[in-house]
Amino acid sequence: MPGVGPKTAQRLALHILKRPESEVEALAQALVEAKKQIGLCSVCFHLSSEPVCEICRNSNRDNTTICVVADSRDVIALEKTREFKGKYHVLGGVISPIDGIGPEQLTLQALVRRVSKDKPTEVILAISPSVEGETTTLYIGQLIKPFTKVTRIAFGLPVGGDLEYADEVTLARALEGRRELD
């Protein structure tokens, strides 16, 4: 599983093997039920147990701003900040020719339809600054610039990070994303 190293996987496996069979069966059944009940929101493609997710149904959210992310983990991370009050659009990945992922495998056409129909005042691209992320960001920017203002999140140094340990790209982005002191 992603994010689980060999030692953690071994500890989990050994823990499960030590549990009573009824607990293991309950865990297995819970996983199967979760897989059956969780799908994708028909509007934003975030994980949801309903046809339309809670965020898209929330009338208190700002309909004029859409934040585009690669996957649902990014929505969860942004929601934890409690800063973004708009809606989301989950691409389902990033363009990566080496992995056989082109624009057709992502929810880009749905994004273009949504932007042209809903006419948001801003689309924020919140995609990680990897080579694939940059490619995806540039591609989306060209697709939706005719319809609305397109911005991207700033990238820079983490709190507590030292300049001497930052790579050149991170430092360049930190300089580009600078802002005036209040």
pLDDT of residue 77: 93
Please give the Cα distance from 16 to 96 (Å, whole number): 36
For the stretch 22-54, pLDDT in tens is 999 999 999 999 999 999 999 999 999 999 999
Residue ranges in the chain whose pLDDT is less than 70? 180-182
* C-beta neighbour count of 88 within 10 angstroms: 26
pLDDT of residue 181: 64
Residue 182's pLDDT is 65
The dihedral through the CA atoms of 134, 140, 146, 149 has a sign that is: negative
